[in-house]
Amino acid sequence: MLDQQGLKRLNLSVSLNAASDSLRSELMPINRRTNLAKLQSALARYRPRRNFVLGVNYCLLPGINDTQSDARAIAAFCEPLGRVLLNLIPYNPGSQPLTRAPQVLEVERFIGWLRAEGLPVRERRTKGRSVMAACGQLGNPSARRSRKALPTLSA
């Protein structure tokens, strides 16, 4: 199907940010419409080519989603998805922070837990913190509320 549309090298990246529905729904309201089971099912079926690697993004929020059990749950979510590369993004607090930025040792510890679970991980280096433009900023809640409804993934 993608070949017919001239999209042979289409890539896909998904923001996970939590591996439980309750926390992910708090952080990402779209989860209330498309929960983790539906997302996992849709992602497991998506294989546009043999060498496809799914990008999974995870914003590390100290005290919120940074435990060893979170790392295990991420690995369990990713296990049926085929080849995955987890991009770990240290949280950038911004002007209305949910928590503080993670310390270097916290990021390294979390990466170690993910790798111990067998996940390939890349830390996304933050840039632009001084101008509130860095990766790891979760969106403005009022802007999220004003967005139009998004279509759901079919399971």
**Domains of the chain in sequence order:** 19-126 (3.20.20.70)
Q: Which residues contact 153 (CB under 8 A, 6 or more apart)?
A: 34, 38, 39, 42
The structure tokens listed for 67 are 């435990």
Over residues 33-85, the pLDDT tens digits come to 999 999 999 999 998 888 999 999 999 999 999 999 999 999 999 999 999 99
Average pLDDT over residues 76-104: 94
Q: What does the pLDDT look like over 6-35, one tens digit per residue?
A: 666 678 999 999 999 999 999 999 999 999
Mean pLDDT estimate for the chain: 84
> How long is the chain?
155
CB of 98 within 8 A of CB of 64?
yes
Catalytic residue ranges: 135
Grade residue 144 by pLDDT with cuts at 50, 70 and 90. Answer: very low
